[in-house]
Structure 1
């Protein structure tokens, strides 16, 4: 017999695992979402920070609106000849666009706060959720 016939053939093995490039690595840190769902102190701090940011935006918008409406009565202190047109211009032409700008700023600020919070609590390895 020759040497080729005496040596046993090596056993063939089939690898069934996930290729290395597609394997999901565990996150380097515990996602904040689990901290929030488990109601830990850190999760409560995250939620409290979001609520404070939203409250800060609401109070700023309210202060701007109060300032706008609080200054309108000063128009009545003008002489009678100017008071009529100035009051109507302030009420009809200036107040509504300024209120719209305040509301637009407020909504944008709140959406930015929520986007920052969402970026904080989502795991970077997860694909983004639609909608």
Structure 2
């Protein structure tokens, strides 16, 4: 009888020495990790989901502050410029004082342009966030 044919002394199954044995854990299904999507993290209101949502809110807030700062620095400073340089009030275009034209035509144009810019950037922020959720 060769060494491979002799039974292993402490083995109750009678396995032969040198024979291959597959060892498995009874908890193999528990050892597998499940993949969790970002959307489910947000839906379940986990800490990671809160981080993603607060990131989106922070980027939207940053955009709003930038747009407001640009608007305040241009339109808000116009009356101060008119007060500092009174000669500007004497200038007339088509019979209308220049300050009135600047506060109407230029102001409305700037508000419309800033509104367009804000909406475009806000939609881009949300699209980037959606792409992140989709895993793209």
How high is the TM-score relative to the length of structure 2? 0.64
Structure 1, unaligned stretches of length 5 or more? 1-27, 125-131
Q: What does residue 43 of structure 1 align with?
A: 49
How high is the TM-score relative to the length of structure 1? 0.66
Counterparts of 1:107 and 1:70 in 2: how far apart (Å)? Answer: 22
- Higher helix proportion (structure 1 or 2): 1
Using the TM superposition, name which of 65-74 and 107-116 deviates more.
Answer: 65-74
Counterparts of 1:118 and 1:75 in 2: how far apart (Å)? Answer: 46
Instruction: Tell me how large the CA RMSD over aligned residues is.
Output: 2.0
Structure 2, unaligned stretches of length 5 or more? 1-33
Name which structure has the greater RCO, CA cutoff 8 Å, separation 6+: 1
* Deviation beyond 6 Å, 4+ runs, structure 1: none
Q: Secondary structure at the match of 1:42?
A: helix
Q: Is the CA contact (8 Å cut-off) linking 1:75 and 1:86 kept in structure 2?
A: no
Q: What is the number of equivalent residue pairs in this alignment?
A: 97
